[in-house]
Structure 1
Amino acid sequence: MARSTARKRALNTLYEADEKGQDILSLLDERIAQPGAQTPLPDYAVEIVRGVADHRRDIDRMLNDHSTSWKVRRMHVVDRNILRIATWEIVYNDDVPDKVAIDEAINLAKTLCDDDAPSFIHGLLSAISAAEHPDGKDARPDQAE
């Protein structure tokens, strides 16, 4: 299964936990045990959800530090979870080039969010990427996903 599909499935899980106020990992365990009508979660979706859950405080701090307009708690639920996924990929997943993480987040925002979200998400993730790579170079090779 393509990673873009796995990102969407991870987003669905993170969104549901956020909306319900439920612990992310407990919801993930439920989804793994009982996928319901959907196919089981792809391995990469599980990796994303666990990664975001494990690093959520640091991810939210980075988002708050680099956001020039909205703090995480005031962002739309979908926007903040797209940002969490991409920030996890930029900071904690060495297999995904920053450009790919940012492009995938923008594509999700274009289909799921309001018209202003893609540019907001692009700017915020670009700032996080620049902070992670102050020399302007992503340590990972550029590759298509």
Structure 2
Amino acid sequence: MARSTARKRALNTLYEADEKSQDILSLLDERIAHPGAQTPLPDYAIEIVRGVAEHRRQIDRTLDDYSTGWKVRRMGVVDRNILRIATWEILFNEEVPDKVAIDEALALAKTLCDDDAPAFIHGLLSAICNAKDAEPADTTAQNPGDGDSADAADSAVPSADDQPTEE
């Protein structure tokens, strides 16, 4: 099954969990055990849903940090979950090129969202990609005496440890 279809199925699952305020992983387990009239979820859809669930706090924090004017909680449910999928692919799935993640998110937005959503989604995901690209690939390879290298890595994209920060 094509990854585009898997993304759509993952979006359906994330949307349903969001609308019902249900735990994502418990809904995923239900969909895997009882797919109903639909075909079973593709493996990549399951990987997306699990990835978003595992990293949701960091994904939402990243979206909040790079969004101008709209925090995650105020975004439309479909928009928010399209962004979560693409952000997970950009930050946590090295198999998917960033441009593909953005293009796939835009394809979903063009068919499922209002007319303003694709531009907003494109701008937000581009900002996340730019920040990720600006982040040093391997800070251990830099000069150990260079105190600025760790600060630059911390400021670009939230770290993978997903710990809350004091504000």
Matched, 1:126 2:126: yes
TM-score, normalisation: structure 2: 0.80
Aligned length: 135
SS at match of 2:102: helix
Equivalent position SS for 1:39? coil
Find the aligned partners of 1:67 and 1:27 in 2 and give their Cα distance. Answer: 28
1:76: which partner in 2? 76
Per-residue deviation at 1:82?
0.0
Which residue pairs with 1:140 in the alignment? none
Show structure 1 runs of 5+ residues with no match: 136-145
Give 1:127 deviation, angstroms: 0.3
Q: Which residue number corresponds to residue 4 of structure 1?
A: 4
* Cross-structure match for 2:30: 30
**In the alignment, is residue 53 of structure 1 matched against residue 49 of structure 2?**
no
Identity of aligned residues (%): 83
The residue that corresponds to 2:100 in the other structure is 100
2:146 aligns with none
C-alpha displacement of 1:134: 1.3
Residue 141 of structure 1 is matched in structure 2 by none
- 1:65 is matched with 65
Name the amino acid aligned to 1:86. A
One-letter amino acid of the structure 2 residue matched with residue 43 of structure 1: D
**Computing the radius of gyration over CA atoms, which structure comes out larger, 1 or 2?**
2
Alignment RMSD: 0.7
Letter in 1 for 2:49: V
Instruction: Provide the C-alpha distance between the structure 2 equivalents of 1:103 and 1:119, rounded to a whole number of angstroms.
Output: 12
5+ long unaligned stretches in structure 2 = 136-167
1:88 is matched with which residue? 88
Runs ≥4 in structure 1, deviation > 4 angstroms? none
Measured after TM superposition, the shift of residue 45 of structure 1 is 0.0
What residue in structure 2 maps to residue 18 of structure 1?
18
TM-score (norm 1): 0.92
Counterpart Cα distance in 2 of 1:69 and 1:93: 27
Secondary structure of 1:64 counterpart? helix
Deviation at 1:54, TM superposition (A): 0.0
1:139 counterpart residue number: none
Give the Cα–Cα distance (whole angstroms) in 2 for the partners of residues 23 and 9 of structure 1: 17
Is residue 42 of structure 1 aligned with residue 42 of structure 2?
Answer: yes
How many Å separate the matches in 2 of 1:103 and 1:61?
22
Give the secondary structure class of the aligned counterpart of 1:133: helix
